Structures are given as C-alpha cells and as structure tokens.
Amino acid sequence: MTIVASLRAVERVFSNGVKALGPLGLAIERGEFLSLLGPSGCGKSTSLRIIAGLLAPSAGTLDWPRTKPRIGFVFQDPTLMPWAIVRDNVRLPLDLAGVARADADAEAERALARVGLTGFSGAYPRVLSGGMRMRVSIARALAAKPQLLLMDEPFAALDEISRDALNEDLLKLWREDGLTIVFVTHSVYESTFLSTRIVTMTPRPGRVAQEFRLASPPDRTSQWRMAPEFAEAARAVSRGLRDAAAKAAA
Amino acid sequence: MMNVSRTLRLLLPLALGVAVLALWEGLVAAYDIPRFVLPAPSAIWAALIADFPSLMASLWTTLRITLLAFLLAVVSGVALAVFFSQSRIVEMALYPYAVILQVTPVVAIAPLIVIWVGFAHIDLALLILAWIVAFFPILSGTTLGLRSADHNLVDLFRLHGASNWQILTRLRLPTALPFLLNAMKTSGGLALIGTVVAEYGAGSGTATGLAWRIVEAGNRLQIATMFAALFLLAALGVMIFFALALVEYLVLRKWHESALKKDI
C-alpha cells in the first residue's frame, strides 16, 4: 500500500473564527477510490481544496510522501468557460501548461471520446445538457492526465439517470487509468457504489467519524446496485453516518 | 404568432408617429400657428432639405467628436479597469476621483476646460468634455466584469499553474466582455450628450456642431431649422445605440444568455 498524500491534524478556521474542519487525519492510498461522506458544511470540500493546494491549512500538515502527483479537479458545477467551445474548454489545462496547439487539440478530442462526447467538440456549453456539461468537465480534468483526481460533489445537481450513467463511466475511467480518486459526496448510495473506501465525517468541525473498506467487485456495473451485498454495505454506511451525527449532537 | 407580434412591434410605433405628424400638420394649418412658434412637419422637412449640406457638415462635426470621445473612453476605461483589477490599492486610491469626475455636471466644467484648452483648440475641449461623460460607465462596467470571473474557474486556472496574465487574458477579460458591451451602449449615448452639452457650454461661434446650429437658429428664430437639427441629433443617438446593440449581439450571439433570447 503506497500513500499518495497524508493529512495530519489538518484544521481550517474561517476568518470569522469558526472552525470548519479538523483536526483531520487522513492518508490517501494510491489507486483507491476514496469517498468523503458527510453532511453539508462538514468541511468535505474544504479538505479537498486543501489537498489541491487551493487553500492552506490553518494548522496541521499535508505531506506528499513521494513526488507530488499531477492533480485534476472537478467541481460541483461544470465550471466551463461559456465563451469557449467544448474542445477549447477541455484543452485549457494543456494550454496553460504550454502544450502545442495541435497536440493539445488531439488530446482534447481523445479525452472527449473517453467521456462519450465525440462529435460535440465544436459546441458551446450552453447547448449541452447538465450531464453532458459535467462530462466535458471530467474530460477537461482527464486531458491533463492526472494521477490524483479530486471531485467535489460532481454529480449532486444531476438527475438520477444521468448520475448513474456517469457513476459507471467514472468507474471505468478510474480502472483504465489506474487513477487515485478522492470523491466528496453526501450520497450514501453513490459513495457505496463507487468507492473502495469510505470515510464518514462528523458535522462541523469535520473530523473522521468512521472508515469503511468495501469489498466491491472491481467491474461493478448497474447489476451491482441490485445485489444484496450492495444494499447491506449501504445500510452499514448509512447507520455509521447517523451514529456519528447523533454523537456529535449529544 | 411570432411574426404577427414582430410586425406589430414595427408597425405600431410607425403608425403612431404618422398619426401624430398628421395631427400636428393639421393643427398648425387649422389654427394658423406662426412658423416661429411651431412650424409644421412639412416646414421642418423643407428646412432640412434646404440646409441639408450645412446641417450634414455640422452633423459630421458632432459625430466625429462623439466617436473619438467614445473610442477614447473605451480604451482608457478598459485600461484603467484592468489596472484596478491587478491592484486593489490603485483602485482604492483612484476610484473615488473617477466618481467625482462622473458626478460633476459637465456643463459646470465646460467653461473651465474651454479656457484651459483655448478657443483655438475648441474641438479638443469638446473631446475632453465628451470623454469625461462617456468614460465612467466603461470603467465601472468593466471593473465589475473583471471581478465577476467564476471563483472556481480562477481556482482551476491556479491549480494548473496559470500566471496572473493568463488569468486576465483568458478568464477575466472574456468574463468582462458582456459587461463592457453593455456599458458601451450607455457610453455611446453619453458621448453624444457630452459633445452636445460641451458645444452649448463652449458657446461662441467657434463650435460648428449640431448643438451650435440649434443655438444659432434659435437666436434667428428659425424654429424649423432648430427642429431639423434636433431631429438629426435624435437620429444620430438612435443610430449609435443600434450600432452598438448590433455589435453586442454579433459578439455574444454564440454563447451568451442575453443573445439567446434575442434570436427568438
């Protein structure tokens, strides 16, 4: 087991003095699909931003035991540039890295094909559905060939059908690329379906409440959602989450 | 349905205009109203045709200064807004003065500017005055636009190692574009108003724009010529507005929500 990143006693205090997070200790293992699961406002997104380097911890440390991996980030909203066509949106990380235009275009097309959007590269974001926009957002993250993919409730705003389809496609990408994914969500079922490990968090200030290692089949598809083992796992996670909330309230 | 309402939108104001003009013509004839009080539309038309070459020359003078002032306002307003976006301290120091410049009535500053610049360079004085009026909407619109960039996108840019320059050119400026184009519509009209007010303020016969023609015609009780010049000014203002609205539409039609509704 190789540790990609480790957070030790990380805290984050808002400017108004309210403690949003921590102390949080967490080790991210290479190749895992880790979900951070907890109620709104528990600091899941804050942890993700700290890992991405977009926020500095108020206390504690974030270490990269080996070389720091290339990081991709997917937000809750697709956060596309409305003035740019799909291909130019996907190409953004490559443009910023100074990749030659032709290579970057080819890479962007490849990333779009992988998320099932072949033929949409010339479209403007506004003509796409919510699910398609999120696919563009994922393609943009993939274009940079990340080793660590951070996802902040990416499917929370989608309808269930689009969300299920994206869940399965995301798993496929995770498997194919050997990605390490940290996935923030407040959905028990989504995290149970996707993850190899779930860390539940307490209400604010967010701390680790419980950890679940899931023995899901690696090629889990929609059938897995129907399996009794899946229901059992989801039940255990759900119970753990409720207990943590009750303990915090007491 | 859509075609009917579109035709109506065009026909209704036209019909109303024709009706008002006909009523006007009829009342002037029926009550024998003197020309120096209220000339009939036909008399205004005649004055417009008779003085057409010289009125056009005046129109060109006013238009030239308006356009120059407008261009200057756009360039300087955008430049200063970009400067503000890069340095909060500069913004805090300068913004109040930009506001003071904006709220001081241009008529009040006109005599001062004219004296400073000198009657020999009256066009320059008019240009400065029109610029003062047209400048602020560009500055405030662009400043707001540059600041409206999606925070998550800014984060994404930073995550991928973007420089401040890349964030400015690839993210903040495109975000500010709809704000700028909207401000330009306001600013274009204000540039014309600024030019006209400055012409009045400058007084004397050195100015040859449409505003001066109105003053001059008024002094000579040539009310029909006054109306003709007034009509040309209004037409100019409408043209400037529509030209800028067209530019806005053409630039934004592919991606912006505001343009999406327009092409229905």
Average pLDDT estimate for A152-159? 90
What confidence tens digit (pLDDT) does each residue in B144-186 have?
A: 999 999 999 999 999 999 999 999 999 999 999 999 999 999 9
Provide the shortest C-alpha distance from residue A125 to chain B (in Å). Answer: 8
What is the C-alpha radius of gyration for chain A, rounded to an integer number of angstroms?
18
pLDDT over 70, % of chain B: 95
Are A124 and B157 inside 8 Å of each other by CB?
no
Average pLDDT estimate for A33-40? 88
Q: Which residues in chain B have Cβ-Cβ distances shorter than 8 Å to A54?
A: 155, 158-159
A190 φ/ψ sector (left φ>0, alpha ψ -120 to 50, else beta): alpha
Average pLDDT estimate for B138-142? 95
What is the predicted pLDDT for the residue at B263? Answer: 44
Are B174 and A73 inside 8 Å of each other by CB?
no
Cis, peptide link before residue A146, omega less than 30° from 0? no
Nearest CB partner across the interface for B159, out of A73, A83, A95: A73
Provide the shortest C-alpha distance from residue A57 to chain B (in Å). Answer: 16
Q: Which residues in chain A have Cβ-Cβ distances shorter than 8 Å to B171?
A: 81
Nearest CB partner across the interface for B160, out of A79, A81, A144: A144
The length of chain A is 250
Backbone angles phi and psi of A55, in degrees to 5: -130, 145
The CA distance from B240 to B231, in Å, is: 14
What is the predicted pLDDT for the residue at B206? Answer: 60
What is the predicted pLDDT for the residue at B110? Answer: 85
Confidence grade of residue B262 (pLDDT, cut at 50, 70, 90): very low
If you measure CA to CA, which chain A residue comes closest to B163? A96
What is the predicted pLDDT for the residue at A218? Answer: 73
Structure tokens given for A38: 């907890």
The CA distance from B183 to B178, in Å, is: 9
Are A79 and B150 inside 8 Å of each other by CB?
yes
What confidence tens digit (pLDDT) does each residue in B39-72 have?
A: 999 999 999 999 899 999 999 999 999 999 999 9
What are B's interface residues with A at a Cβ cutoff of 8 A? Answer: 150, 152-153, 155-162, 166, 170-171, 174, 177, 254-257, 260
Average pLDDT estimate for A158-164? 88
Are B255 and A82 inside 8 Å of each other by CB?
yes
Provide the shortest C-alpha distance from residue B174 to chain A (in Å). Answer: 7
Are B159 and A54 inside 8 Å of each other by CB?
yes
Longest dimension (CA), chain A: 59
A79 inside 8 A of chain B by CB: yes
Amino acid at B175: T
**In this structure, what is the dihedral angle of CA atoms A159, A165, A169, A170, given to the nearest 10 degrees?**
30
Average pLDDT estimate for A184-191? 90
The CA distance from A154 to A35, in Å, is: 12
Residue of B148, B151, B156 to mutate when probing chain A, most A C-beta within 10 A: B156
Q: Which residues in chain A have Cβ-Cβ distances shorter than 8 Å to B157?
A: 92, 96
What is the predicted pLDDT for the residue at B260? Answer: 62
Q: Quick one: DSSP state of residue A11?
A: E
Are A96 and B177 inside 8 Å of each other by CB?
no
pLDDT at A217 over 80: no
Nearest CB partner across the interface for A79, out of B153, B254, B255: B153
Q: Which residues in chain A have Cβ-Cβ distances shorter than 8 Å to B161?
A: 96-97
Are A79 and B254 inside 8 Å of each other by CB?
no
A95 inside 8 A of chain B by CB: yes
Structure tokens given for A39: 């109620």
Provide the shortest C-alpha distance from residue B171 to chain A (in Å). Answer: 8
The CA distance from B180 to B182, in Å, is: 5
The CA distance from B220 to B218, in Å, is: 5
What is the predicted pLDDT for the residue at B204? Answer: 60
Confidence grade of residue B26 (pLDDT, cut at 50, 70, 90): very high
CB < 8 Å & 24+ apart, contacts of B86-95: B86/B164, B86/B168, B91/B143
Provide the shortest C-alpha distance from residue B258 to chain A (in Å). Answer: 12
Nearest CB partner across the interface for B160, out of A84, A96, A124: A96
Are B155 and A49 inside 8 Å of each other by CB?
yes
Confidence grade of residue B261 (pLDDT, cut at 50, 70, 90): low
